[in-house]
Chains A and B, each alone.
Chain A
Amino acid sequence: MIINDGFIPKRQVNPKVPPGQYVVNDFPVLSLGPTPDISINDWKLEIAGLVEAPQVFTWTEFERLPRVEMKTDIHCVTKWSKLDTLWGGVSMDFLIEQVIVSESATHLIAHSYDGYSTNLPIEDVRGGKAMIATSFEKEPISTPHGGPARLFVPHLYFWKSAKWLSKLEFVNGDIPGFWEVRGYHNYGDPWKEQRYLDD
């Protein structure tokens, strides 16, 4: 490490902000291509893989499920963090119970309408840590930010919170997703600054 002479911090150090991150008030976007246009009339969410009761939800069915809220910070690998954001949706614990996920499932693969996918160990979506979010600050999630529905796993870098969610697949064994095979870290803990492959 070197000291950069004359470099004067302009931001306050905040213990809520992981290393290498800085706080934004706006809401930037990370994406690999154009924002897909998904009508809630055509929207479906499939839950499949190692589950006893696979399900396909329509929007109307999904909206009737019990809702939870999470107010927390989010951290994007491109270095911005946004504090105290409020998200609402359906808890992953509830969905895992509904479809009866098999004991043998070790990972969740989240698939998106634009062909994106991301992988998470199953422990990371259990125990109140994750949900399928359909609202941000009490409003429907705008499309650039992943609406109608996105995965929400705020303790990991935000690329793990797949936007435009189409399918949850429970599997035995890990299957690295879109960014995970393109040089980004497989797990993505912001507090350990696990941005890239060997971090």
Chain B
Amino acid sequence: MKNKWNLVTLLESKMIGTNVMALVFDAPWWPGHTPGQYIDIRLTAANGYQAERSYSVASTIEEEGRIELGIELLEEGEVSPYLFALEPGAQIEVRGPLGGHFLWDIATPGPLVLIGGGSGVVPLMSMVRHHKLHLSDDSEREVFFLISAKTIGHVLYKDELEKFSRDDVNFHLALTLTEEAPIGWTGYARRADEVMINELFGELHDKRPLFYVCGSNSFVETLSGILVAAGFNPKSIKTERFG
């Protein structure tokens, strides 16, 4: 019953980065999803006007009856400011899970490479969390996560990801800050380029990695182009563009 609109109820919301909020909804009907999928949201105004938008799911499939989103505020936007202002207990209509290509689960073989720009980290987070929950069966897998963000404040789920990389030697987190880096910053501080991609993923050429690139249109275009230029198989690169 994919196409049915269902009600979800906001449980809590909290800021997880500059201008980005995590919203956790109670959704008893949620059938579960594959990491990488998204939902559609529909808002209806008093005069009957409706707006629909898509949002990726950040929670993992093991969290039954719960959907977590990560929403970036666009000040002049129609839907994101409304979602930002939602109070716990508020209900909205959603449908899903949706999307049939930008998918990953632990049954997929090979090293996993996640590349997220800004809020493009959201669906990748579902993949990482799923992998983490199955770490006992999936401990041999190498997971690489490159996040590009304007400033350190724009890096979503930073504490959670840093904890993962402390706990698991096979989880490699790399951050690049494109506008402003704090004093003493030891990570990258520039737009991702081929040199960076080779440094981070060069060792993976013979290991059949799978790449998931998500973010704005221009971010995805650039990064997927760099991966191809660096010699990775275009068929091993999956993309999701937020607009």
Q: Interface residues, chain A, CB within 8 Å of chain B?
A: 1-11, 13, 19-22, 24, 28-37, 78-80, 114-115, 144, 178-179, 181-184, 196-199
What's the least CB distance linking B60 to chain A, in Å? 20
Cβ of B3 within 8 Å of any chain A Cβ, yes or no, is yes
> Which B residues are CB-close (under 8 A) to A4?
43-45, 82, 92
Asked if residues A35 and B225 are in contact (CB atoms below 8 Å), the reply is yes
- Give the shortest distance, in Å, between B234 (CB) and chain A (any CB): 5
Residues of chain A lying within 8 A (CB to CB) of residue B221: 29, 35, 144
Would B44 and A28 count as touching, CB distance under 8 A? no
**Partner of A32 from B7, B52, B101, B225 at Cβ < 8 Å:** B101
- What residues on B are CB-neighbors of A181 within 8 Å? 100
Closest A residue to B95 using CB positions: A196
Q: B82 near A182 (CB under 8 angstroms)?
A: no
Main secondary structure of the interface of A (DSSP, over half): loop
In whole Å, how far is A2's beta carbon from the nearest beta carbon of chain B?
A: 6
Is B49 close to A, CB under 8 A? Answer: yes
Q: Are A196 and B51 in contact (CB under 8 A)?
A: no
Q: Is the CB of B235 within 8 A of A183?
A: no
A1 near B93 (CB under 8 angstroms)?
yes
Q: Which of B59-88 contact A (CB under 8 A)?
A: 76-78, 82, 85
Indicate which residue in B1, B100, B228, B237 contacts A179 across the interface (CB closer than 8 Å): B100
A-B contact pairs, 24 of them (CB 8 A): A1-B93, A3-B45, A4-B43, A4-B44, A6-B85, A9-B45, A9-B47, A9-B49, A13-B49, A21-B52, A24-B243, A31-B239, A33-B238, A33-B239, A34-B227, A34-B228, A37-B228, A115-B235, A144-B217, A179-B100, A181-B100, A183-B2, A183-B100, A198-B1
Q: How many residue pairs at the A-B interface have CB separations less than 8 Å?
A: 109
Distance of A32 Cα from B224 Cα, bound (Å): 11
Q: Name the one of B53, B93, B239 contacting A79, with C-beta atoms under 8 angstroms.
A: B53
Given contacts A4-B45, A34-B239, A196-B98, A11 and B3 within 8 Å (CB-CB): no
- Is B19 an interface position by the 8 A CB rule? no
Distance of A24 Cα from B217 Cα, bound (Å): 14
**B205 → chain A, closest Cβ, in Å?**
16
Does chain A have a CB within 8 A of B46?
yes
* Beta-carbon nearest neighbor of A12 in chain B: B49
Query: CA separation between A13 and B48, bound complex, in Å?
Result: 11
Nearest-Cβ distance from residue A56 to partner chain B, whole angstroms: 24
The answer to whether B91 touches A22, judged by C-beta atoms less than 8 angstroms apart, is no
Question: With A20-B42, A34-B227, A34-B237 as given contacts, are A1 and B5 in contact (CB-CB < 8 Å)?
Answer: yes
Chain B residues with Cβ under 8 A from A20's Cβ? Answer: 42, 50, 52
Is B139 part of the binding interface, using a Cβ–Cβ cutoff of 8 Å? no
**In the complex, the 5 A-B pairs of residues with the closest C-beta atoms, listed nearest first:** A182-B100, A34-B224, A20-B52, A183-B100, A10-B78
